[in-house]
Amino acid sequence: SQELEQSPQSLIVQEGKNLTINCTSSKTLYGLYWYKQKYGEGLIFLMMLQKGGEEKSHEKITAKLDEKKQQSSLHITASQPSHAGIYLCGADSVSYSGAGSYQLTFGKGTKLSVIP
Amino acid sequence: DVKVTQSSRYLVKRTGEKVFLECVQDMDHENMFWYRQDPGLGLRLIYFSYDVKMKEKGDIPEGYSVSREKKERFSLILESASTNQTSMYLCALLPRVGANYGYTFGSGTRLTVV
């Protein structure tokens, strides 16, 4: 089964600083999702990457998928207290080209704290 | 946007009780999932369903069952609750297969078994 390793496990940054969270897969990623979770709540979809070398941005958050499709990074520019939470990467177990279960496997998450 | 509603945010049950966790979507999508989330272990898939009356085991189905009698409702059942089932339970839905469509999650049910 696919395993996803996230690093770091936790991160404390000063407001205004940039930061990067990494997600590494043991297998080729067919679809890589980034989610944010506030404590005790559900997951909010941020972005999905599918092609090698793909990069997407939403407000101050940028996600990239490497060419080999085994590593993704999430970069936050000029962090704010509203960015605090747990960031999780998730990956599909099969490609979209065929029938499959479309189950998501998740990393264990990166807890981000932003100090004002 | 599709909405996924979990009926309870917090639940406290006794050991041995039969527990029902409900998940309802407001549209007509096929793929629904139940995960549990535990510190240090992340999210783990319990069961999923592709359509009415169809169900598949995930990675940790033991001690759980599911029911999908109508497309909009996917229920997780703890046949005889145990303390090791204390966890955060998250229901998810896949609105559409393909790029740029993320899984939509409910707000979660934090279950405590005493």
pLDDT digits (tens, 9 = 90+) for A10-33: 999 999 999 999 999 988 877 889
**What is the structure's pLDDT at B113?**
98
CA distance B98 to B44: 22
pLDDT at A22: 97
Whole-angstrom distance, CA of residue A33 vs CA of residue A40 = 20
B8-40 per-position pLDDT tens digit: 999 999 999 999 999 999 888 888 999 999 988
3-state secondary structure of B84: helix
Which of A61, A102, A111 is best to mutate for the B interface (most B CBs within 10 A)?
A102
- Restricting to A residues 36-95, those with a Cβ less than 8 Å away from any Cβ of B are 40-48, 50, 88, 90
Gap between the Cα atoms of A74 and B95, Å rounded: 24
pLDDT of residue A2: 65
The closest CB to that of A33, out of B4, B103, B107, belongs to B103
B81-98: pLDDT as tens digits: 999 999 999 999 987 655
- Asked if A41 and B108 come within 8 Å (Cβ–Cβ), the reply is yes
Count of all residues that appear for chain A in the document: 116
Question: Does residue A85 have a pLDDT over 90?
Answer: yes
Dihedral (C-alpha) A15, A18, A24, A28: value to the nearest 10 degrees? 130
Query: pLDDT at position A98, please?
Result: 45
Summary mean pLDDT of chain A = 88
Chain B positions touching A88 (Cβ under 8 A) are 42-43
Give Cα separations from B101 to A24, A104, B9, B96 (angstroms). Answer: 21, 13, 26, 6
Q: Residue A87 in contact with residue A35, Cβ under 8 Å?
A: yes
**pLDDT value of residue A94:** 56
pLDDT at A99 (0 to 100): 41
Contact A90, A30 (CB under 8 A): no
Whether A41 has a pLDDT exceeding 90, the answer reads no
Per DSSP, what are the bridge partners of residue B71? none
- Give the whole-angstrom CA distance, residue B85 versus residue B93: 22
Nearest in space to B56 (alpha carbons), one of B79, B72, B73, B33? B33
**Beta strands at B19-25 and B42-49: parallel, antiparallel or unpaired:** unpaired
Using the Cβ of A100 and the Cβ atoms of chain B, whether some distance falls under 8 Å is answered with no
Looking at residue B27, what is its pLDDT? Answer: 84
> Would you give the end-to-end CA distance of chain B in angstroms?
37
A23 contacts A71 by C-beta, under 8 angstroms: yes
Whether residue A68 has pLDDT greater than 70: yes
Q: What distance in Å separates the CA atoms of residue B94 and residue B19, rounded to the nearest whole number?
A: 25
The nearest CA of chain A is from the CA of B41 a distance in Å of 6
Tens-place pLDDT, residues A92-109: 765 444 444 567 889 999
A93 touches A101 (CB < 8 A) = yes
Tell me the C-alpha distance between B8 and A36, whole Å.
21
- DSSP assignments along A65-88, one per residue: E-TTSSEEEEEESS--GGG-EEEE
Q: Are B91 and B23 in contact (CB under 8 A)?
A: yes
Give mean pLDDT, residues A55-76: 93
B108 contacts in chain A (CB < 8 Å): 40-42
